[in-house]
Homo-oligomer: A and B are copies of this chain.
Amino acid sequence: MDMLKTILDRRSIRKYTGDPVSRDKLISLAKAGMAAPTSRDTRHFNFIIVDDESVINKLLEGLPYSKMMATAKHAIIVTSDLSIAHGGAETDYWIQDCSAAAQNITLAATALGLGACWTAAHPREERVNFVKKVIELPQNVNPLCVIAVGIPTGEEKPRDKFDPSHVFFNKWGKLS
């Protein structure tokens, strides 16, 4: 049941102490991301772990909604090799797969006592191109999101987002 609690307790963290996170833990997050399902099992993921402060600072220059990275100090960038993903750039299966991987990462971070905040690159073309340039992604590799990772201050508490009026049984509008 621990897992359910982690899922319910996870929230976007924007307040960090600035303390370091070990590479072992960051690799565990990438491992969690890689365990996500991919359409037709194409396994098209690559994860870029950012723990070099100069790269964090470069990323901050072009990502308007990622200010929390300044104190988080680490990030994981979830990318898809579109030459491998089912449907490539023509469909959006890669978006679904990368989103599942990103969610695995935010949950694994929560489980490890870290904080995480998912910030979008895609679908904003200027942010996608900016991230690709900073971390030198090949043409066929697209970043979905930049996940800030760090040590949370603990000020931000879990929130209960459950609203039973948005759960139906067997058809729209049927509450039991």
Q: How many identical subunits does the complex contain?
A: 2
Q: A23 to B104, alpha carbons, bound, how many Å?
A: 25
Count of A interface residues, CB-CB < 8 Å: 72
Inside 8 A of A136's CB, which chain B residues have their CB?
Answer: 171-173
Interface check A103, CB cutoff 8 A: yes
Interface check A148, CB cutoff 8 A: no
Given contacts A104-B7, A107-B107, contact A169 B99 (CB under 8 A): no
Inside 8 A of A6's CB, which chain B residues have their CB?
Answer: 3
Give the contacts of A47-101 with B (CB-CB under 8 A). Answer: 47-52, 55, 87, 91-93, 95-97, 99-100
Of B8, B51, B164, which is within 8 A of A169 by CB? B51
Inside 8 A of A164's CB, which chain B residues have their CB?
Answer: 27
Q: Per-residue 0/1 for A105-117: is the Cβ within 8 Å of any B Cβ (1 yes, 0 no)?
A: 0111011100000
Inside 8 A of A92's CB, which chain B residues have their CB?
Answer: 92, 95, 122-123
